[in-house]
Amino acid sequence: MNRRDLFSVLGGSAALLAVSQAESFAQQPQGRTRPQGPGNPGTRPPQGGRTLTKYPSEHFYKNGKFDEEVAKAAYREMFEFHRYSIRETVLNSKDFWVLEFGLGDYSNVGMAGIFFVNDKENGYFGHEIYLLPGQMIAEHRHLPAEGKPAKHECWQVRHGQIWTFASGGTAANVPVDVTLPKSQDGAITAFNVKKLEVGDMDYLSKLEAPHFMLAGPQGAIVTEYASYHSGDGLRFTNPKAKV
């Protein structure tokens, strides 16, 4: 299965995440942030006094080629740091994937994740997003595809911290403590910024609008609830970005 397929077919067999927040998803107005309580029940905060290592981008490349296993090892360190629990059989399967976007700057622009469910017939999607410290998902938007409407989505922080970026605004909106990757200069148009802590939720501000998220200094583990995800409807602002 190639990376494009990961964004267009069912990415996992567990189908466990997308149900628990369905009612609040349906009732919540678009484009608002709402506190959601303490996050995952039973989880514990990171161990006091520790910090999570931010590796330079060259750490993730060997002879100029992206090394997926090195990237996965960095996420495993983040899982341990946040005491995030997930079955080892899942982490050792193809369902746990990493995506470099073909941009050669993985420390700053990249992601990993698991598609727990992507149901085209019934139109729902459950995704766990993993971001290393300061890592950004390349700016993108979703268009109608495969006979389905443009994807709608929302995100809930489970561990760490993120900033969501929605369409509109200018670079002056970016907080002073947020550093956008220099490799994305000229490829960012979404500057309406919101900071989300553990338990907070944010919604896509407008269908088909460009957006992205950026992790805080301790990385982030984010649950996404959404309608059906089609790889055919995915468009990046950066013309060099790909799946």
Residues 5-61: pLDDT tens digits? 544 443 443 333 333 343 333 344 444 433 333 334 334 555 566 889 999 999 999
Q: What is d(CA 40, CA 159) in angstroms, rounded to the nearest whole number?
A: 8
Q: What is d(CA 229, CA 74) in angstroms, rounded to the nearest whole number?
A: 26
**Helix/strand/coil percent split, the chain, to 5:** 15, 30, 50
Residue 208 located in a structural domain: yes
Residue 243 located in a structural domain: no
**Strand, helix or coil for residue 62:** strand
Residue 241 located in a structural domain: no
pTM score of the predicted model: 0.82
Indicate which CATH number applies to the domain containing 157: 2.60.120.10
In percent, the amount of the chain with pLDDT more than 90 equals 79
Half-sphere exposure of 33 (CA within 13 A, CB side): 15
Residue 47 located in a structural domain: no
97 vs 42, residue with greater confidence: 97
Asked whether the beta carbons of 198 and 157 are under 8 A apart, the reply is yes
Residue 210 located in a structural domain: yes
Please give the residue range of the domain that contains residue 159.
3-41+52-236
Residue 192 located in a structural domain: yes
Any idea what DSSP says for residue 143?
A: -
Residues 118-163: pLDDT tens digits? 999 999 999 999 999 999 999 999 999 999 999 999 999 999 999 9
Domain count, the chain: 1
Mean pLDDT confidence for 98-124: 98
Mean pLDDT confidence for 61-78: 97
